[in-house]
Structure 1
Amino acid sequence: MDSAPSKSRNYVLINADGHAGASIRDYKPYLAGEFHGEFETWAKDFHDPWADFDKELADTDDEGLRIGVSSASSPYNWESEERVTILEGQGTVAEVIYPNTVPPFYPSGAVTAPSPTNAADYRLLWAGVQAHNRWLVDFCKKAPGRRAGLAQVFLNDLDDAIAEVKWAKEQGLAGILVPSDHQLSIVNLYERRLDPFWKACSDYGMPVHRHAASVGPPETELTGPAAVAIGVYETAQFIQRTLPHLMIGGVFERFPDLQFVITETGCAWIPDELKRLDGSVIMGRQKGTIAYPLYHRAVEGMAKLPSEHWHNNMHIAPSLLVRKDLDVRHTLGIDRIMWGSDYPHHEGSFPHNNLAVRLLFHDLPEAEVRAMTSLNAAKLYGFDLDMLQKIADRVGPTVEEMGTPVAREELPAVSFSHTVGEAIARQPAMAA
């Protein structure tokens, strides 16, 4: 793929942040039989509280195209052949798949629901997660070599989680998804009790993922509209907690082969955060500083700084990319960044993916673009680039197309896409 002739071939776009799931009824065959009666009771009256959130869409008549929090019922999640056709039409040939719909017994879609906080909830939600993981194996098989599925686990019962890691590896899934923090359920990744889980993921070669999610509950009469707004506002803060948990928590010191991916956030914030973390570790080792009594027991034995662990153990799939995020690509490392479209979420690139990738990459070196849009993901998840190149030669963007700047008249009037919407917002300033 790095030879001179290959550089003139179409780009192999691998979406490192896709979402999929079954419809509610289609999960039942994958659910353990002992839960079928409870499933019928739950499913009969279930209504996703987020389902009607964005019915009045500003930029499309496509009822299946919804923003993430309200996208669980869209058929784009489970219509396999249609999905392949749509993604190819957007120049994409393969994808990494996170959950999105409503697994059995969930209170809402997978990107809005908190993880279980008590034994009764865990019993049901774990059964639902396992049903999703088993559905996902079959869904990936419908597009061989083009889907890397991530098995979801909870960290309430580590025996269950570790057994699921082993099962996922044996079934050909590509990684593990741990719960996101939520206002209703905080999951502290620094806890030493999790070490057997990290060891299992490291031993089985399964990269671990954490995906940004809506961290607040839906609007009710009691919460008011601020519940949604605050949840969105705090999403970045909650996903950013992942770095200090892993770094100061010493997870990579104890498990140096573990690979961890953060998804669906920008990445311009990371260099400053790494500087703060490095500073905390350095000061925390020095007697006589105010940091020493608070940090030293956690950091004095560390062999590497957080910034070094970033380059050895961390990756980011910043599917809500804007150009300022790519300005830090050399600091983060070109090999640490994996492009994602967030399909089928409306805040991602779809249905303007061809515009979005040009907005992001048109003036960047070809080798860097190839690394961020295919090579890095292929290496981490085991995609066969030779196989995917044959598809990309048919549907992928050419080097010339990718290198063509987006003209103002090509932009839609409005777009919920983070990438495209940011470009639209910049137009008046650029014209002034």
Structure 2
Amino acid sequence: MNDSPVLIDTDVHNQIGSLLPYLPKAWHERYQTVKVPYGAQYYSSVGTNRKDAVPDKGGVPGSDPQFLISDHMDRYGIDYAILTGSGVLGLSLDPDPDYGNVLAAACNDRMTDTWLNVSPRFRGSIFVNASDPTEAAAEIRRHASNPNMVQVLMASAARMPYGQRFYHPIYDAANECGLPVAIHPGTEGKGISGAPTPSGYPTRYMEWHNILPINYMTHVNSLVCEGVFEKFPKLKFVAIEGGISWLPHLMWRMDKNYKALRESTPWLKRFPSEYIKDHIKLTTQPVEEPNNPEYLLQILHMIEAEKTVMFSSDYPHWDNDNPKMAFPRMPKEMKQRILAGTAAELYGLHTRPARKDDTANDLADQIARKSKQSPEHAWGEDE
């Protein structure tokens, strides 16, 4: 019997809860006053979360571990959820790095106590304050021995592109500990990060949300051109919730310019696109949805999605993706790799987690069978 994971969700937003019990007393008053700096200065008419994801016992969506399991993981047969928190990534963008450091430590300790100890189906992210790379590296090493912590997580908003040497202590620690580094959007334009676009601030939320991929292009371009993957050859970098379709043209442009300008990056031994395919991972939500689904499949082939793309739902946010409806029909191997195979390798999740019963496993098998039987099923396979 194959006991490999069937479905791994690489972006699930859990509410970590109050950090007050985990903060040194000297920071209590400040935390009670300002909490965690977060979010762009834009109003969304649809809010942040789905209205139907409120736990049975009350509270905000993503705040109840057991409800999250039943409402989301059991519903779709998800073996593992990679937890990415909610409303905390702004800790990297406070002008006071010491405050950001204690917030990161508190987030990680509370994540461990209130989520990772609840279910073997949860895996956590180590939050770090990217504005203080030395302390961020120490925080990575503090949690690296916990097998339930499977990646380092930073805000995609930053003071400077993530390939620059200022951040290398973070990559050194992650490389040493065998952990991928991930970034997540939501704080662009907040705190010390500067404007969310090269031309300044958009007017409203829709404009801001539409243009987030340009920040991901900036970081991927910087990581490759600054030689991060030559210096840290085992490092993997995960671009969460940044889209997919921008990657082909970025790779082509970088390769074209490398042919003429390689003298400016003498540390690069290969074409930029080769580093990207070997070291960069993208998550699917919010996946592009062209009128002709074949166009998306072409893009997936262009970027070798079998090794670069991982499924994510973004649960419980308003634009989260249903794993049964997120993609067009595709080859069986590509589907398996996107659903679970690449994430299983990246995060070391090679077997399904232990459970009290096999209900979710049975559901996952049903989904897999249905994908072969139903021609209209969005996760169908090419024959």
TM-score by structure 2 length? 0.81
Q: Displacement, 1:48? A: 8.6
Measured against aligned partners, the alpha-carbon deviations of 1:35-66 in whole angstroms (never above 9, x if no partner) come to 123333446xx999979743689x9753749x
The aligned amino acid for 1:76 is P
User: Is residue 2:144 matched to residue 1:152?
Assistant: no
Aligned to 1:14: 8
Alpha-carbon distance between aligned partners in 1 of 2:334 and 2:223, rounded to the nearest angstrom: 28
The aligned amino acid for 1:19 is H
Matches within 5 A, 1:18-417: 18-23=12-17, 26-42=18-34, 53-54=44-45, 62=52, 64=54, 75-87=60-72, 88-101=74-87, 103=88, 110=89, 113=90, 115-116=92-93, 118=95, 121-172=96-147, 173-181=149-157, 185-213=158-186, 215-216=188-189, 226-285=203-262, 296-297=263-264, 299-321=265-287, 322=289, 323=293, 324-333=295-304, 334-349=306-321, 353=322, 355-357=324-326, 360-361=327-328, 363-387=329-353, 390=358, 392-396=360-364, 397-403=366-372, 404-406=374-376
Q: Displacement, 1:34? A: 2.3
| Matched pairs, number | 356
Aligned to 1:70: none
Q: Displacement, 1:325? A: 3.7
Structure 2 unaligned blocks of 5 or more: 192-199
Q: Displacement, 1:155? A: 2.5
Check the 8 A contact 1:317/1:337 in 2, yes or no. yes
Measured against aligned partners, the alpha-carbon deviations of 1:92-142 in whole angstroms (never above 9, x if no partner) come to 2311111213x5xxxxxx4xx483363xx3222332222111111124434
Q: Displacement, 1:217? A: 5.6
Alpha-carbon distance between aligned partners in 1 of 2:237 and 2:40, rounded to the nearest angstrom: 31
Q: Describe the shift of the 1:386–1:356 C-alpha distance in structure 2 as closer, same or farther (beyond 3 A).
A: same
Larger Rg: 1
TM-score by structure 1 length? 0.73
Q: Displacement, 1:161? A: 0.7
Q: Displacement, 1:343? A: 0.8
The aligned amino acid for 2:216 is I
Alpha-carbon distance between aligned partners in 1 of 2:31 and 2:227, rounded to the nearest angstrom: 41
Alpha-carbon distance between aligned partners in 1 of 2:162 and 2:116, rounded to the nearest angstrom: 32
Alpha-carbon distance between aligned partners in 2 of 1:10 and 1:255, rounded to the nearest angstrom: 29
Check the 8 A contact 2:101/2:136 in 1, yes or no. no
Alpha-carbon distance between aligned partners in 2 of 1:149 and 1:96, rounded to the nearest angstrom: 6
Structure 1 unaligned blocks of 5 or more: 66-72, 104-109, 286-295, 412-418, 420-432
Check the 8 A contact 1:278/1:305 in 2, yes or no. yes
Task: Name the SS for the 2:212 alignment partner.
Answer: helix
RMSD across aligned C-alpha pairs, in angstroms? 3.4
Q: Percent identity?
A: 20
Check the 8 A contact 2:163/2:219 in 1, yes or no. no
Alpha-carbon distance between aligned partners in 1 of 2:186 and 2:33, rounded to the nearest angstrom: 28
Alpha-carbon distance between aligned partners in 2 of 1:75 and 1:234, rounded to the nearest angstrom: 28
Q: Describe the shift of the 1:41–1:315 C-alpha distance in structure 2 as closer, same or farther (beyond 3 A).
A: closer
Q: Describe the shift of the 1:329–1:31 C-alpha distance in structure 2 as closer, same or farther (beyond 3 A).
A: same
